[in-house]
Structure 1
Amino acid sequence: MSQTHVSFLGLGVMGFPMAGHLAQAGYAVTVYNRTPGKASAWLEQYTGQMAATPGEAAQGADIVMMCVGNDSDVLEVGEAALAQMRPGSVLIDHTTASATVARQLAKQCADADIGFLDAPVSGGQAGAEKGQLTVMVGGDNSVYEKIKPVIDCFARHSQCLGPSGSGQLAKMMNQICIAGIVQGLAEALHFGQRAGLDCSQVIDVISKGAAQSWQMENRAHTMLNNEYDFGFAVDWMRKDLSIALDEARRNGSTLALTALVDQYYAEVQKLGGGRWDTSSLLARLT
């Protein structure tokens, strides 16, 4: 594996540990981050190299992975890397971005005889650190099967779901589900508090039945304690929901609840909670 050169572009709360798992698995890893200090900090923990630009990082790489901010970042970093990648290599985008950008990059890669996968992840910072992410993949299945052992370094499950853009569309579904579940949980806790119940005890009971969810198991008690410092921020969730709502307008689907919860998150932002985690929907009710 040391002969397989993997470059990782973007060392945020997700990319930093993801790249770390690759290094620990024995791959030759080169990292790039817009803020060089992050790359230097990564090298203090893991074995690898750092590059000054995305293009420099991509030179000679068999696989280039990126996890950046939004559509414009994906295009800027992805195209800079693509310009230096060799035919037969693979570009993988782990950013949560639009399906439109995924298809655009897929075409550019195909023209250069480079494989491309859009592969957004779910599981949050904790999942990235533990190597337990879920990866939703769009693109050619043969390319996916080729690089799956690399993704397995930081994923508990990955799956190719269709042509380019399918991974991003699946991630939109993921965020739509989360938005509705968290809002339901917030309203239930608010209701219970107003009814004078010991909500912590109630959650211990109903989490054993049909109301159970990951959010209930992992966030209900912290929500009751007004603790909202658990990773995925409201600002990021609004970015993701905006992508989903834009796609819904294109494909004619109705996302009434998602649009409503998006506005509730806007209210949380007005409370100063842009960097609170997504369970902070309860804050606007108390």
Structure 2
Amino acid sequence: MPVTTIGMVGIGQLGLPIATNLLAADFRVVGYRRRDREAFVEKGGIALDSPAAVAAEADFILTCLPCEEAHLEVMEGPDGLLESIGPRHSLIEIGTYRKAFKQRMAHRIELRGARALEAEVSGTPSMVLQRKASLFLGGDADLVEHCKPVLDAIADIQFHIGELGCAVAMKLIANYLLTIHTLAAAEALNLGVRAGFSSEQLVEVIRQSAGGSTMFTVRAPMMASRTFSPAPGPFATLDKYIEMAGELSEELGCAAPLFNAAKPYFLRAIDEGIGEEDISAVIKLIEADSLAHPYKSKQHAD
């Protein structure tokens, strides 16, 4: 049986672990990135010189770009995908963009005879490698089934949310909670340390308690060890999701007391020059604010 070739346009922080999983599943993976392609090649991927070259070799094409502008560049630019795809192609969009943008691009893809599916990743790059991330899928059920061998190679946990555009809304809800939970983990760890516990003991006990959460399990150990770089999820990346999640909440008229309390901390981290550190570094801001409010003993409080 011939080996299936998967194309990837965008093999950076998130695209590389996705490509690694595809290679581990014995797919042949070709990819395009303007620079820093060495890690992809070291994993066994084949680097090509343009998005059009990727389309020429692969029926399944995954696009994983950081923003709408970058996505448009690989779709419309010289040797771009739009002029290179046809009825044999299925495009799986990994990037997170606004629903209206995704739907416009899907329409343009369909005009070429190809089909589009969105696959939003919920989880950090390291969670992708460990197969602990989830895929939120938006698109026709028959296309999901057609792409299933590729999707299964990326992640074990998958949810078909609905039509194209629905998955991004679910991703924003997940990141809405991620923002709140990460700040809550930082608050709890800081509280415990000031109460006299070691950060290591707090991580071990709380992660197995009723108060634990996925984000506590993932990020509290990073807070305890002060391992903020290299960053699996930097503030600078979360910034886009915070903005889009806030827009969704406002559009739907939702009360958002916890999100609105958490949001300024993550924006402040960027303003204070730690935007490239992992969002677990939000604990540094909590600690700084705690020092501004010195501990009061019970006797003094009485």
* Residue segments in structure 1 that go unaligned for 5+ positions in a row: none
| 1:144 positional shift | 0.6
Contact 1:4–1:28, Cα closer than 8 Å, also in 2: yes
- Structure 2 residue corresponding to 1:58, chosen from 43, 55, 58: 55
- CA–CA distance in 1 between the matches of 2:217 and 2:68? 33
Question: Is the CA contact 2:40–2:46 (under 8 Å) kept in the aligned structure 1?
Answer: no
Matches of 2:205 and 2:151, distance apart in 1: 37
Which range is displaced more, 168-177 or 203-212? 203-212
CA distances 1:39-68 after superposition (whole Å, capped 9, x unpaired): x4422330x532212122112521110111
**Which whole-Å CA distance do the structure 1 matches of 2:200 and 2:263 have between them?**
27
Q: CA deviation at 1:131?
A: 4.0
CA distance in 2, matches of 1:225, 1:133: 23
In structure 2, list runs of 5 or more residues that go unmatched.
Answer: 288-302
1:121-132 maps to which residues of 2 (within 5 A)? Answer: 121-132=121-132
Between 1:234-243 and 1:267-276, the stretch displaced more is: 267-276
Partner Cα separation in structure 2 for residue 199 and residue 150 of structure 1: 40
Aligned to 1:235: 236
User: What secondary structure is seen at the aligned counterpart in 1 of 2:153?
Assistant: coil
Aligned partner of 2:92: which letter?
A: I
Work out whether residues 176 and 241 of structure 1, in 8 Å CA contact, stay in contact via their aligned partners in 2: yes
Tell me, yes or no, if the aligned pair for 1:228 and 1:277 is still in contact at 8 Å. yes
Output the CA distance in 1 between the equivalents of 2:224 and 2:110: 50
Alpha-carbon spacing, 1:221–1:61, altered in 2? closer, same or farther (3 Å): closer
- Counterpart position of 1:42: 40
Deviations 1:90-127 (A, max 9, x none): 11111122222211112112222211111111221212
Please tell me the residue identity of whatever aligns with 2:69.
S
Equivalent position amino acid for 1:253 in 2: C
Give 1:162 shift. 0.5
| 1:165 maps to amino acid | G
* Preserved CA contact (<8 Å) 1:118 1:138: yes
Q: Structure 2: which amino acid aligns with 1:45?
A: K
C-alpha separation in 2, matches of 1:72 and 1:232 = 21
* Pairwise CA RMSD: 2.1
Q: What TM-score results when the alignment is normalised by the length of structure 2? A: 0.86
Equivalence for 1:273: 274
In 2, distance between residues paired with 1:156 and 1:67?
19
CA distance in 2, matches of 1:54, 1:63: 13
Deviation string 1:55-96 (CA, Å, 9 cap, x unpaired) is: 221125211101111122223224431321111421111112
- Length-normalised TM-score, structure 1: 0.90
Give the direction of change, closer, same or farther, for the CA distance of 1:212–1:58 in structure 2 (3 Å limit). Answer: same
Amino acid at match of 1:144: V
| Secondary structure of the corresponding residue to residue 197 of structure 2 | coil
Shift of 1:199: 4.3
Q: Which runs of 4+ in 1 moved over 6 A?
A: none
Determine helix, strand or coil for the equivalent of 1:69.
coil
Q: Is the 8 A contact 1:10 1:68 kept in 2?
A: yes
Structure 1 pair 200–138 and aligned structure 2 pair: CA distance change class (3 A): same
In the alignment of these two chains, the number of paired residues is 283
Q: Report the more deviating stretch, 77-86 or 271-280.
A: 77-86
Cα gap change, 1:61 to 1:241, in 2 (>3 Å): same
1:247-262 alignment to 2 at 5 Å?
247-262=248-263
Alignment of 1:155-234 (within 5 A): 155-229=155-229, 230-234=231-235
Q: 2:249 and 2:264 mapped to 1: Cα distance?
A: 16
Q: 1-side partners of 2:71 and 2:262: how far apart?
A: 26
The separation in 2 between residues aligned to 1:201 and 1:41, in whole angstroms, is 36
- Aligned with 1:121: secondary structure? strand
Identify the residue that residue 82 of structure 1 maps to in structure 2: 82
Matched residues in 2 for 1:108 and 1:216: separation? 41
| CA positional deviation for 1:237 | 0.7
